[in-house]
Amino acid sequence: MNRKKIFMLSLVVILVSQCNRDVSFDESLPALQPSRLDENAGTWKMIYMSSPGQVAVAAPLPVSDPSYQSELTSIKDLQSKLNPTQKSIIDYWSGGGVLRWNQILRELVARYNLPPAPLADGSYPVPDAENPFADPNFPFANPPYAARAYSYVAVAQYEAMKAAWYYKYFYNRPAPYTVDNGIQALVPKTALPAYPSEDAVLSGVSAELLKSLFPAAVEEITKKAAEQRSAALWSGKAAASDLSAGLSLGKSIAALFTARAASDGMKTAGGNKAQWQMLVDNAVARGEIPWLSLDLPSRPPMLPFFGLRTIGGTPVGVKAWMMTDADIVNDRPLPPPPTASAEMQDQVNEVKYYSQNLTRERLAIVHKWADGAGTYTPPGHWNDIAAEYIRDARYSEVRAARVFALLNIALHDAAVACWETKYYYFNPRPTQMDPAIRTGTGIPNFPSYASGHSTFSGASAAVLSYLFPSSAQYFSDQATEASLSRLYGGIHYRIDCNTGLTHGNKVASHTITFAGNDGAGN
Amino acid sequence: MLQYAALDAYTYMKKTLLSLVIAFNAVPAMAQTLTDGIMMGRGKLCTGLMYGQENWSTYWEGTLERSNQNIGTLQSQQYMWMGIYGITDRLNVIGSLPYVKNHTSGGTLHDMEGLQDFTLAAKYRFYRLDSDKGRFTAHVVGSFSTPMSNYTPDFLPLSIGLHSTNLAARVTFNYTFRQGWFVNGSSGYTYRSNVTLDRPSYFTNNTFYETNEVRMYDVFDFNVDAGYRIAKWQANLTYMQMNTLGGGDIRRQDMPFVNNMMNASRIGGVLMYYLSKPKDFAVRLTASSVIDGRNVGRSTQWMAGIFYTFHFTKTE
């Protein structure tokens, strides 16, 4: 009887431990069947390139050509031998290349979003682009770095998709599954011309940019890009010559953007000791308490010259996409209350109230939006939100690319404008003003005014509301919640949050003005 | 035989006290709770309150031991109720409920405190063999624990627990010599339910997850101890090992995560004294230290408690 009981107990334990607790890590995507093909996307307004035909694509061979026919034969051969791994690769990419690359980028940002660890002497090493595998890894994909990365990939993809559409409808070569009845369509069939292959264009433009932004991830990036082209081939969507023309076009367009990135001001955005001291001296000269790092040991400020246009007479600052230097300065929020003022004390007291009353409900909001180290950052969070709308709208690759481009242009410009504001005013965090303020998440290592989360969220909500007007209220509510999460967490004053939201809206208006006249409609 | 009876009431407490060694607050309370080989007699209820502290100022980031000025020293204060009731001489039920408060001496992160997990367990002695030299016993334990408040597991090292619901099974062997020396060995396997976070995505173990659900891996543990009990005194030493059967390391300069592979080896000891007056009271002191670990703090812990035994059935 004892033995029986032991057996029963063991059985229960074994059964329970066999329950499937595995968590799937991919955002699952249904196979893309675009609601419309956007045949005229080759006429939509370009952002950085002079025209969709700026990079030449040679005419394809006619479908009757023996060399093309042999490409079709090889597709049939491949389709007859597809193994389960290859089928799962087809399924993965059938969800849409633009959405998949956005997911991949979010993952890369999360992986590389770790600040360097301090050395024994209390100093911090600087990630080195020439030695990206060393500790600390290059890059440290913090919010400004991430905003810039999302924007480069998104804008380059969007320009590349418009170029692809331009040539597709210029040459009008159908997809293999349309040309040859013997070729199966293993993805939803469309009438989109196949030359050059949009999948190959995306693989080339995305992989080249990602390799320059995240050089230590070269292996997985290269593998993903190759799989995307293979999926297009195996699924009967593109022939070998459609792919090679697409890959070449994508890579050439990527080169235009990596050239821009090499001289966009990022290299000097970290600054040096003398320049950091100037920021402190300037604040003191204005009669204000200068910001101090609250990291231990004290850490140099995060990318102080990402936004500022000049320091000590030296021009600095990362280029925006839709804003000029004058726009950035003109749109800068008015100053926060002086650090010694009673008004500022009221702001501090309110933060202290929330610190002392950190309810579970508010902590959940703080953590929902924390998006700190080791995450895809606030720009990534808004990309995550946008991805669901793109998926549900069943947008074509070119229109999906447009959404991410417009969103990430606004997010990058928000990063530039917000960082300009932060380092222009160099305002201390609440805990610096009152050390009794304990925080529900880590204190970001840059000045307080205005809130980055709020600026990013204000800009994102504005762009997404323009693109998906029926959900405007939802975007606005989410932005407000993201903004207030920083007050609840004890890391921002209310004035930082409110000002950031307004500033973000203003920044986005430059992007929305462009979008209103880009020929794409909504 | 009288000697055994006298020991009954208090020996249960031993492992529960040690179990409160938090790593990153990770130790499933039951995994180390019911590890000894003595049963509470029928109709007796032993219940007590304990207070303890656990501190660490270095932790293992993966296998790299480091300090972190933004944490300084992590201090955990624990208040715990527990009770043991002998349904029969061979079947006991045990319950416990801790209240935990965590604080860091460095940095700015907010304290976390609250009711942690309620544990309910049944312990069954399925074998006993007496001889001239002593007594051998073998036991099985089944236990269940679940969070008693909506605390977050996503604010380590300040989170007060990991917020999973656990089922554990354990087997224990004990040999006690008539002179009072004893040796004990116990091993358990804990099944942990998945947990949910307040955020929609997370990165761990080199993978990005677009979900708020986190896979929790099972935990295997064993401990061996040896000691001596005579008259009103008890003293013993314990070695304990806990291994999480999955999960990733804390990355360089990253925060700990709820499903990290938290492993710990510790040594500890127990001192206990049975008061003559007032009758049926006992006091005890325990201490332990993590001597090696992975993704846990190198903690030192002590606890002190007072217990009282009710006799619902007249014995002897």
Interchain pair A114, B124: CB under 8 A:
no
State the pLDDT at residue B149: 97
Q: What is the pLDDT of residue A7?
A: 63
Token digits for A446? 């840059």
Using CB atoms, which residue from A9, A111, A360 is nearest to B142? A9
Q: Are residues A258 and A273 in the same domain?
A: no
Q: Residue B271: is its pLDDT beyond 90? A: no
For residues A508 and A472, the answer to whether their CB atoms sit within 8 Å is no
Name residues 131-150 of chain A within 8 A of B (Cβ): 135-136
Cα B22 to chain centroid distance, Å, stands at: 8
| Rounded distance between C-alpha atoms, residue A423 and residue A447, angstroms | 7
- Name the token pair of A459: 């800009």
Q: Convert B52-109 into a string of H (helix), E (strand) and C (coil).
A: EEEEECCEEECCEEECCCCCCCEEEEEEEEEEEEECCCCEEEEEEEEEEEEEECCCCE
Say how far apart CA A456 and CA A144 lie, in whole Å. Answer: 10
Mean pLDDT of A347-365: 98
Do A309 and A436 reside in the same domain of the chain?
yes
Report the pLDDT value the prediction gives residue A22, as an integer from 0 to 100.
Answer: 79
CB contact under 8 A, A376 and B201: yes
pLDDT, position B13: 36
- Gyration radius of chain B over CA positions: 20
Percentage of chain A exceeding pLDDT 70: 96
Alpha-carbon span A401 to A97, nearest angstrom: 9
CB contact under 8 A, A116 and B253: yes
For residues A155 and A302, membership in a common domain is answered with no
Do A137 and A202 sit in the same domain of this protein?
Answer: yes
Least CB–CB distance from B150: residue in A116, A360, A373: A360
In this structure, what are the phi and psi dihedrals at residue A270, rounded to the nearest 5 degrees?
-80, -30
Same domain, A356 and A445: yes
Q: Which two tokens stand for residue B151?
A: 């605390």
Q: Has residue B28 got a pLDDT over 50?
A: no
Q: Are A303 and A357 in contact (CB under 8 A)?
A: no
Same domain, A328 and A207: no
Quickly state the pLDDT bin for A27 (edges 50, 70, 90): confident
Q: Is the dihedral of CA A196, A197, A199, A204 positive or negative?
A: negative
Q: What is the pLDDT of residue B17?
A: 31
Q: Show residues of chain B in contact with A111, CB under 8 Å.
A: 203, 206, 208
State the Cα–Cα distance between residues B74 and B55, nearest whole angstrom.
Answer: 5
- A/B interface, count of CB pairs below 8 Å: 128
At B23 the pLDDT is: 38
Do A281 and A217 belong together in one domain?
no
DSSP 8-state symbol, B142: E
Same domain? For A257 and A296 the reply is no
Distance, first Cα to last Cα, chain A: 74
Look-up: residue for tokens 């010559």? A241
- The CATH code of the domain that includes A254 is 1.10.606.20
State how far the Cα of A63 lies from the Cα of A61, in Å rounded to an integer: 6
Check if the beta carbon of residue B196 is closer than 8 Å to that of residue B153: no
A363 contacts B199? CB cut-off 8 A: no
Summary mean pLDDT of chain A: 96
CA dihedral for B161, B167, B171, B174, sign (positive or negative): positive
pLDDT in tens, B197-221: 999 999 999 999 999 999 999 999 9
User: By three-state DSSP, how is residue B246 classified?
Assistant: coil
Interface of A with B in 16-45 (CB under 8 A): 16-17, 21-27
Longest dimension (CA), chain A: 89
* Shortest Cα–Cα distance, A223 to chain B (Å): 16
- Please judge whether B142 and A17 are an interchain contact, meaning their C-beta atoms are less than 8 angstroms apart: no
Backbone phi, then psi, for B304, in 5-degree steps? -135, 140
Give the distance from residue B114's alpha carbon to the nearest chain A alpha carbon, in angstroms: 11
Digit-coded pLDDT (tens) for A448-474: 999 999 999 999 999 999 999 999 999
Are B109 and A438 a contacting pair at CB < 8 A? Answer: yes
For the stretch B170-185, pLDDT in tens is 999 999 999 889 999 9
Which residues is B233 bridged to in the sheet?
Answer: B230, B273
Decide if A55 contacts A252 (C-beta within 8 A): yes
Contact B126 A2 (CB under 8 A): yes
In contact, A401 and A161? CB cutoff 8 Å: yes
Q: Please report whether residue A511 resides in a domain.
A: yes
Does the structure show a pLDDT above 70 at A5? no
Closest to B172 in 3D by CA, of B143, B194, B201? B143
Nearest to A363 among B152, B189, B214 (CB): B152
A25 vs B47, residue with greater confidence: B47
In a domain, A17, yes or no: no
Chain B contact present for A15, CB below 8 A: no
The encoded tokens of residue A95 equal 């969800």
Which of B:69-88 have CB within 8 Å of A? 69-70
DSSP H or E segment with residue A496: helix A494-516
The residue with greater pLDDT, B19 or A236, is: A236
- DSSP output for B264-290: EEEEEEEEEEE-SSSTTEEEEEEEEEE
Count of residues in chain A: 522
- Could you tell me if A5 lies within 8 Å of chain B, comparing CB atoms? yes
Which of A123-132, A204-213, B226-235 comes out lowest in average pLDDT? B226-235
Cis bond before residue B153 (omega within 30° of 0)? no
Task: State the burial class of residue A519 (Cβ atoms within 10 Å of its Cβ: 0-12, 13-18, 19+).
Answer: exposed
Are residues B210 and A442, on separate chains, in Cβ contact within 8 Å?
Answer: no
Co-location of A328 and A249 in the same domain:
no
A29 found inside a domain? no
| Complex prediction ipTM | 0.92
pLDDT of amino acid B21:
32
CA distance B307 to chain A (A): 31
Average pLDDT over residues A470-495: 98
Q: How far apart are CA A284 and CA A290, in angstroms?
A: 6
Q: Mutation target for B interface from A15, A29, A107, A358: give the one with most B CBs within 10 A.
A: A107
Distance from CA of B268 to the nearest CA of A (A): 29
In a domain, A488, yes or no: yes
**Residue A506 above 90 pLDDT?**
yes
User: So what's the pLDDT on residue A26?
Assistant: 63
Here the tokens at position A80 are 């007859």
Nearest CB to A373: which of B66, B209, B255?
B255
The closest alpha carbon to A451, from A410, A432, A479, belongs to A479
Question: DSSP per residue over A125-147, as a string?
Answer: ----TTSTTSSSPSP---HHHHH
Q: What pLDDT score was predicted for residue B20?
A: 31
A230 lies in the same domain as A273:
no
Whether residue A341 sits in one domain with residue A463: yes
Residue A345 placed within a domain:
yes
The one-character DSSP state at A40 is G
Q: Which of A23, A294, A370 faces B215 most closely, judged by CB atoms?
A: A23
Domain ranges of chain B: 2-311
Under 8 Å between Cβ of A11 and B170: no
Q: How far is CA A251 from CA A229, A241, A429, in A?
A: 14, 15, 44
Residues of A in contact with B202 (CB under 8 A): 374-375
pLDDT at B29: 29
Return the percentage of chain B with pLDDT > 70, whole number: 87
**Which is nearest to B180 in space by CA: B307, B7, B303, B27?**
B7
Residues spanned by the domain of A201:
39-51+77-262
For residue A9, the model assigns a pLDDT of 60
The residue length of chain B stands at 316
The answer to whether residue A388 neighbours chain B at the CB level (below 8 Å) is: no
* pLDDT of the residue at A17: 54
Under CATH, which number does the domain B2-311 receive? 2.40.160.40
CA distances from A312 to A263, A269, A516, B120, B130 (A): 20, 14, 39, 67, 88
Summarize pLDDT for A264-313 with one digit per residue, the tens: 999 999 999 999 999 999 999 999 999 999 999 999 999 999 999 999 99
Strands B202-204 and B207-209 turn out to be: antiparallel
Reported confidence tier of residue A6, pLDDT bands at 50, 70, 90: low
Question: CB of A490 within 8 Å of any CB in chain B?
Answer: yes
pLDDT of B91-136, one tens digit each? Answer: 999 999 999 999 999 999 999 999 999 999 999 999 999 999 999 9
Asked if residue A479 and residue A496 are part of one domain, the reply reads yes
Phi, psi of B183 (to 5 degrees): -130, 150
Interatomic CA distance for residues A454 and A138, integer angstroms: 27
Q: Do B208 and A110 touch (CB under 8 A)?
A: yes
Cβ burial A98-129 (10 Å sphere, 16+ → b, else e): bbbbbbbbbbbbbbbbbbbbbeeeeebeebee
Q: Cβ of B279 under 8 Å from any chain A Cβ?
A: no
What average pLDDT does range B267-292 have in this prediction?
88
A471 lies in some domain = yes
To the nearest whole number, what is the mean pLDDT of chain B?
86
**Cβ-contact B199, B153 below 8 angstroms:** no
Model pLDDT, residue B34: 56
The reported pLDDT for the residue numbered A12 is 60
C-alpha A90/C-alpha A29 separation (Å) is: 12
Indicate whether A7 belongs to any domain: no
In a domain, A59, yes or no: no
Whole-model pTM?
A: 0.93
State how far the Cα of B162 lies from the Cα of B160, in Å rounded to an integer.
7
DSSP A420-451: HHHHHH-PPPHHHH-TT--BSSPPPSS--SS-
* Residues 128-147 of chain B whose Cβ lies under 8 A from any Cβ of chain A: 140, 142
* CA–CA distance, A203 with A157 (Å, rounded to integer): 9
Q: Which two tokens stand for residue B211?
A: 């979900």
pLDDT digit string, tens, across residues A159-179: 999 999 999 999 999 999 999
The pLDDT of A129-142, averaged and rounded, is 93
Euclidean distance between CA atoms A375 and B204, whole angstroms: 10
Task: Say which amino acid occupies A488.
Answer: Y
Per-residue pLDDT, averaged over A423-428, amounts to: 98
Cβ-Cβ contacts under 8 Å, A371 against chain B: 199
Cβ atoms A200, A244 nearer than 8 A: yes
Counting the structural domains of chain A, the total is 2
Nearest to A438 among B70, B111, B167 (CB): B111
Which has the closest alpha carbon to B17: B316, B220, B304? B304
Query: Which one of B61, B192, B253, B254 would you mutate to disrupt binding with A, by most A Cβ within 10 Å of its Cβ?
Result: B253
